[in-house]
């Protein structure tokens, strides 16, 4: 059990974050008014404005993009490219540096596949112990390929694929990072925010530290958990690539964003080839279109990409300052109340200070399996939480030494009543197992 530092009382500049007001934007609460949705780290709920935009596409200009010379196709294409412009502005990037994909997982795999041809035999790859599988497995697989191609002894595998330790309070161990990165480190992949620990990593500082050791290192950032909660400027972070998913930030499922510095994107071998990404195909040779289109093969999730612009507008209208203040108050309240109500029987993983973490918490409750916790919360209290390893098995098994955790994650449509409901629900869980 941790003892948490309390956040100072937060005064809001506007009343928009009133839970009754904000919940009106999300139709699911009309259908399920008793729902306490505490799984936004997996998938956030979708506001009406985003749903309306999806319907608008299908009802008013349902056509493929960049292929037709008729009004419907030109309208769809214009809306699609407007979303690219909005995304570029949102992240502080150029339009040609924004690639639309199917999600963070696809984006990171695109980068891993596309960079393989650039790696030398003596290269190594560095990740952190807190990575989601999507930012761990592709690099691990790439390292195995390097091992085979370099014809090194199999025992050298750990020297090629290096995992940076974390500290006892859930931060990246910068001393270990300094040991793991060297002049031959080709890739450093890290998460901006841990989807298990809630840790907010100081990416900008870590990039500086890595580049001091190796100026040529390629830095890849998984921003799936940070993008809904804080302002991101890719120029300021100085990362080479950054990936996120729109379904975690009030947008549709099936859409992802890959940002890359122009010179880095041009290095990538296309992951998928086919329609729209080619400039010319002959029996002997294929040439590709310029960025961003050379990395966008086939028909995309047009409605989803177009609707993401509405999610960006929705976030911008509320503002990250208000979102952050609201979520910080919630996580501070949750950490304090859970600790007081359950004492030594609850273990909450990650930073001890609320302002060092995002609005999620992973925990165990006595000897009760997290799957049982989630199941009982659902059936008894209509509370939705995540249970398992959260696609971070190395972190759970190898680092924390536990089989699983339960995870509650908060968003703009949650309030202190949801925290209180969770506490009542967890007490019911304990009662069930006491019997």
Same structural domain, 29 and 122: no
Q: What is the per-residue pLDDT across 408-429, written as a single tens digit (0 to 9) for each? A: 999 999 999 999 999 999 999 9
Same structural domain, 308 and 188: yes
Q: What CA–CA distances, in Å, run from 281 to 186, 271, 288?
A: 33, 17, 9
Same structural domain, 152 and 38: no
Under the banding of pLDDT at 50, 70 and 90, the label for residue 187 is: very high
Residue 162 forms part of a structural domain: yes
How far apart CA 224 and CA 336 sit, in angstroms, is: 26
192: tokens are: 């901006």
Contact 172, 350 (CB under 8 A): no
Q: What is the per-residue pLDDT across 108-167, written as a single tens digit (0 to 9) for each? A: 999 999 999 999 989 999 999 999 999 999 999 999 988 877 666 555 556 899 999 999
Same structural domain, 292 and 236: yes
Under the banding of pLDDT at 50, 70 and 90, the label for residue 92 is: very high
How far apart CA 323 and CA 411 sit, in angstroms, is: 8
Q: What is the per-residue pLDDT across 10-28, written as a single tens digit (0 to 9) for each? A: 333 445 556 568 999 999 9
- Choosing from 256, 284, 315, the residue where a domain stops is 315
Total of domains in the chain: 2
Q: At 364, which CATH number?
A: 3.90.1150.10
Of the ranges 87-91, 246-250, 350-354, 411-415, which one carries the lowest mean pLDDT score? 350-354
Same structural domain, 308 and 352: no
Asked if 391 is an active-site residue, the reply is yes
Same structural domain, 193 and 254: yes
CA 387 to chain centre: 18
357: tokens are: 């973490």
Percent residues over pLDDT 70 in the chain: 93
Same structural domain, 335 and 294: no
How far apart CA 365 and CA 374 sit, in angstroms, is: 11
Range of the domain at 36: 15-44+319-434
Q: Cβ contacts of residue 138 below 8 Å, gap of 6+? A: 108, 109, 111, 112, 113
Same structural domain, 113 and 176: yes
199: tokens are: 């840790």
- Choosing from 296, 315, 334, the residue where a domain stops is 315
Quote the pTM value. 0.94
Beta strands of 165-240 (E only): which ranges? 185-191, 218-222
How far apart CA 305 and CA 309 sit, in angstroms, is: 7
Catalytic option among 42, 391, 393, 424: 391
Q: Is a pLDDT exceeding 60 seen at residue 368?
A: yes
Average pLDDT of the chain is: 93
Same structural domain, 286 and 387: no
Same structural domain, 212 and 285: yes
Same structural domain, 305 and 331: no
Phi-psi region of 391 (alpha: psi -120 to 50; beta: other; left: phi over 0): left
- Choosing from 315, 343, 370, the residue where a domain stops is 315
Same structural domain, 300 and 353: no
């Amino acid at each position: 059990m941790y003892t948490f530092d309390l956040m100072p009382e937060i005064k809001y500049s506007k009343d928009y974050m009133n839970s009754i007001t904000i919940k009106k934007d999300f139709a699911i609460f009309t259908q399920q008014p008793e729902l306490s949705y505490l799984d936004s780290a997996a998938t956030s709920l979708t506001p009406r404005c985003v749903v309306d935009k999806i319907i608008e596409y299908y009802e008013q200009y349902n056509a493929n993009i960049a292929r037709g010379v008729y009004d419907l196709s030109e309208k769809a294409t214009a809306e699609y490219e407007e979303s690219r412009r909005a995304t570029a502005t949102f992240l502080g990037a150029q339009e040609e540096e924004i690639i639309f994909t199917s999600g963070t997982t696809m984006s990171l795999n695109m980068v891993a596949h596309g960079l393989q041809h650039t790696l030398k035999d003596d290269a190594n790859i560095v990740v952190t112990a807190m990575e989601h599988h999507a930012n761990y497995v592709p690099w691990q697989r790439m390292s195995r390929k390097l091992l085979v191609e370099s014809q090194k002894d199999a025992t050298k595998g750990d020297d090629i694929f290096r995992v940076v330790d974390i500290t006892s309070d859930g931060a990246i161990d910068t001393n270990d990072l300094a040991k793991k990165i060297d002049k031959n480190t080709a890739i450093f992949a890290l998460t901006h925010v841990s989807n298990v620990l809630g840790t907010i990593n100081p990416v900008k500082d870590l990039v500086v530290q890595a580049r001091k050791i190796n100026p040529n290192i390629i830095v890849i950032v998984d921003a799936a958990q940070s993008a809904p909660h804080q302002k991101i400027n890719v120029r300021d972070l100085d990362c080479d690539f950054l990936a996120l998913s729109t379904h975690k930030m009030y947008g549709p499922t099936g859409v992802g964003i890959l940002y890359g510095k122009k010179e880095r994107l041009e290095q990538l071998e296309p992951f998928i080839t086919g329609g729209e990404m080619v400039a010319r195909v002959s029996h002997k040779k294929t040439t590709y279109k310029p960025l961003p289109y050379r990395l966008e093969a086939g028909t995309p999730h047009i409605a989803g990409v177009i609707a993401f612009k509405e999610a960006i507008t929705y976030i911008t209208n509320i503002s990250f300052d208000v979102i952050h203040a609201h979520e910080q108050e919630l996580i501070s309240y949750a950490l304090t109340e859970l600790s007081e109500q359950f004492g030594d029987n609850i273990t909450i993983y990650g930073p001890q200070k609320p302002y060092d973490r995002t609005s999620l918490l992973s925990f165990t409750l006595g000897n009760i399996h997290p799957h049982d916790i989630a199941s009982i919360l659902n059936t008894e209290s209509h509370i939705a939480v995540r249970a398992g390893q959260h696609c971070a098995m190395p972190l759970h098994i190898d680092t924390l030494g536990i089989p699983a955790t339960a995870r509650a994650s908060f968003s703009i449509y949650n309030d202190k009543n949801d925290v209180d409901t969770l506490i009542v629900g967890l007490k019911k869980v304990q009662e069930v197992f006491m019997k």
